[in-house]
Amino acid sequence: MKTFLIPATLLVLCVSAASAFAAPGTVLRNDKLYSQPNAASKAAGSVAKGASVNILSKQGGWLRVTSGKSTGWIRLLSVRAGAGGLGGAGLGDVVGAATTRSDPSRVVAVAGLRGLNDEDLKQAKFNADELARLNAWHETPAQARSFAAQGGLSVTNVAALPAPQPAQTPSTWEAN
Amino acid sequence: MKIKVMVLAVSLVSFSGVASGFDFGKLLEERINQELNKDKQTQPAPAQTSPSPDASQSAAAPPPSAKQKIDAGQLGFALFGDYSPEEETRIGKQIAGNLLGAVPLVRDDKLQRYVNLVGNWVALQSGRKDITWHFGVLDTEDINAFAAPGGYIFVTKGLYQRLNSEAELAGVLAHEVAHVTKKHHLKVLKQSSLIGALGQAASSKAKGSDQVVQNLIGNGAEIMARGLDKNAEFEADRVGIVFAARAGYDPWGLPEVLQDLAGLPAKDSRTSLLYKTHPHPADRLAELGDAVGGRLDALHGKDLPGRFYRLR
């Protein structure tokens, strides 16, 4: 009896955890779904830019998503979380605004908290005491290295990422 | 852009005529042409490396009146050459001091020390060794992070409380470190806002405040509200993700923070400044995805959720 109860409880916990994580998302580029969080694994389908997905879980640079009838792993940077669609430049803004309106509880939940605004920053007067406090926190490279070593962090060789190609043909200024 | 610069130039020329006798017009025209052509040229014009003797002579010629806000030193500081590390720190101090006038630091030394250790470790991977880095958590619910020249970096409590691991903190700080190493704010100061700021009357006279620099950066910490070009933000994402990965962290820290922000409701007052000064997180994810592709697939960095200092 006991041995049965534990797996059953675990199963219930897992299911509730998974459903708690399930979140809407939008695909940002045409991409593949893989059977594993790994680009060498078998393809499990493909998704088109703008498609809606349901995000099930996350592992490293991968998200497990369902899109229509397919479920699989997609690169973290190929999807955005949230109900806002494609984002600032796309039709997403309209969808995002509509979603916010249709869910007034979310707006109320944050209404009491105020952010910084232009006026706060414009009117700001130099605070020498706070700056002195900030300047007093000074960690040396040696301290930073020892802190990194304690956490098992080590310097890794990673090449700089290329800047994306400009959409327009670059000017031939230099060639002239 | 050109028209805007021309209008500013014309207004400044007329302003200089009133203020004193020396020839701003020609100086400014040369300087603006240099700035406008800078991106298109591979080699900098020789005049850029040092102030031209003519310029300093003509600037020094008229006797400065007591009330005059624009002195020769300030002009040289503003319009010629690149900023030295000392000048950069001077500018950063003023911006940081002003920002701290708007919002103070969280009173938690353990938190601040922790953030400085993570930040310094990430900054060590940036290759920039001529400045001293300072990191601070600002006591506001606003969700944002800031960088000022000279290595002054801030993350708000509102953003910090949304983070889940040291790798996410490292990702956020790395983005800001990238703004400093790429000198994004200094470029903004040099290109346009500075021209307007030159004509601006000084307002704050707080103790320890640097009046010459204050005249350059405009009112208070408004430079933080103006934000940067969206390409500077995309670049900081691209460069920052690499700094965090070089520090041994899981490179997905910054993208995870962007995913979290993308999931926030659109009309949240805590993100209004962030969205005013940054491209939408969805656009940042898409842009970063174009640059990253499969390039970081082989990395297995650390998340360190256990060591992350939780803020109540």
Quick one: A72 and A101 in the same domain?
no
- The residues near B52 (Cβ < 8 Å, ≥ 6 apart) are B80
Residue A54's CB is within 10 A of a number of other CB atoms, namely: 14
Q: Which residue matches tokens 């003023």?
A: B94
In a domain, A50, yes or no: yes
Are A153 and B256 an interchain contact pair (Cβ–Cβ within 8 Å)?
no
- The span from the CA of B145 to the CA of B224, in Å, is 10
Q: Nearest CA to B47 among B22, B18, B75, B79?
A: B79
Which of the two residues, B182 and B63, has the higher pLDDT score? B182
Residue of B nearest to A118 (CA): B225
- The span from the CA of B103 to the CA of A116, in Å, is 9
Which CATH number applies to B88-183+226-292? 3.40.390
- The residues near B25 (Cβ < 8 Å, ≥ 6 apart) are B9, B13, B16
Contact residues on chain A for B247, CB-CB shorter than 8 A: 148, 153, 155-156
ipTM for this model: 0.75
Instruction: Give how far the C-alpha of residue A128 lies from the chain's centroid of Cα atoms, to the nearest Å.
Output: 37
A173 touches chain B (CB under 8 A): yes
Which residues span the domain enclosing A103? Answer: 83-114
Are B280 and A116 an interchain contact pair (Cβ–Cβ within 8 Å)?
no
Least Cα separation, residue A1 to chain B (angstroms): 35
Quick one: A98 and A76 in the same domain?
no
- The span from the CA of B15 to the CA of B25, in Å, is 10
Of B94, B124, B260, the CB nearest to A141: B124
Instruction: Give the count of domains, chain A.
Output: 2
For range A34-51, the mean pLDDT: 95
pLDDT above 80: residue B13: no
For range B124-137, the mean pLDDT: 95
- The span from the CA of B27 to the CA of B34, in Å, is 11
B178-205 per-position pLDDT tens digit = 999 999 988 887 765 555 454 444 444 5
In a domain, A140, yes or no: no
Q: Which H/E stretch holds residue B54?
A: helix B53-60
Q: Nearest CA to A65 among A76, A52, A47, A53?
A: A53
In a domain, A122, yes or no: no
pLDDT band at A70 (very low <50, low <70, confident <90, very high): very high
Quick one: A76 and A101 in the same domain?
no
Which of the two residues, B115 and A172, has the higher pLDDT score? B115
- The span from the CA of B80 to the CA of B178, in Å, is 24
Of A37, A66, A81, the residue that ends a domain is A81
Report the length, in residues, of chain B. Answer: 312
pTM over 0.90: no
Which of the two residues, B217 and B164, has the higher pLDDT score? B164
Of A61, A92, A144, the CB nearest to B117: A144
Amino acid (1-letter code) at residue A66 = T
Quick one: A97 and A65 in the same domain?
no
A152 touches chain B (CB under 8 A): yes
Of B93, B220, B271, the CB nearest to A123: B220
Of A89, A163, A171, the CB nearest to B283: A89
Least confident interval from A70-79, A109-118, A130-139: A109-118
Q: Which H/E stretch holds residue B155?
A: strand B152-156
In a domain, A98, yes or no: yes
pLDDT above 50: residue B116: yes
Which of the two residues, A156 and B18, has the higher pLDDT score? A156
CB pairs under 8 A between A and B: 275
| Eight-class DSSP state of A125 | -
Are A173 and B285 an interchain contact pair (Cβ–Cβ within 8 Å)?
no
In this structure, what are the phi and psi dihedrals at residue B138, rounded to the nearest 5 degrees?
-90, 140
pLDDT band at A14 (very low <50, low <70, confident <90, very high): very low
- The span from the CA of B185 to the CA of B148, in Å, is 7
Mean pLDDT of chain B: 78
Least Cα separation, residue B30 to chain A (angstroms): 19
User: For position A70, which CATH number holds?
Assistant: 2.30.30.40
B69-100 per-position pLDDT tens digit = 444 445 445 555 678 888 899 999 999 999 99
Q: Nearest CA to B180 among B138, B119, B245, B139?
A: B119
In a domain, A42, yes or no: yes
A20 touches chain B (CB under 8 A): no
A165 touches chain B (CB under 8 A): no
Quick one: A104 and A88 in the same domain?
yes
Quick one: A32 and A77 in the same domain?
yes
Least Cα separation, residue B120 to chain A (angstroms): 6
Contact residues on chain B for A162, CB-CB shorter than 8 A: 291
Quick one: A40 and A62 in the same domain?
yes
pLDDT at B27: 52
Q: Break chain B into its structural domains and give their ranges.
A: 1-76, 88-183+226-292
B142 close to B221: Cβ distance less than 8 angstroms: no
pLDDT at A165: 76
Least Cα separation, residue A35 to chain B (angstroms): 16
Best of B239, B269, B271, B275 to mutate (most A CBs within 10 Å, chain A)? B269
Are B117 and A126 an interchain contact pair (Cβ–Cβ within 8 Å)?
no
Task: Give the rounded percent of residues in chain A with a pLDDT score beyond 70.
Answer: 66
Quick one: A38 and A50 in the same domain?
yes
List strand residue ranges (DSSP E) for B204-260, in order. none
B210-245 per-position pLDDT tens digit = 887 887 787 778 888 777 889 999 999 999 999 999
For range B55-60, the mean pLDDT: 42
Quick one: A75 and A97 in the same domain?
no
- The span from the CA of A112 to the CA of A110, in Å, is 6
Of A68, A95, A114, the residue that ends a domain is A114
Quick one: A31 and A77 in the same domain?
yes
In a domain, A15, yes or no: no
Region of B248 please: left (phi>0), alpha (psi -120 to 50) or beta: left
> For chain A, give me the number of helices (H) and strands (E)?
6, 7
Quick one: A37 and A75 in the same domain?
yes
Are B252 and A61 an interchain contact pair (Cβ–Cβ within 8 Å)?
yes
Are B101 and A126 an interchain contact pair (Cβ–Cβ within 8 Å)?
yes
Which of the two residues, A78 and B33, has the higher pLDDT score? A78
Least Cα separation, residue A113 to chain B (angstroms): 7
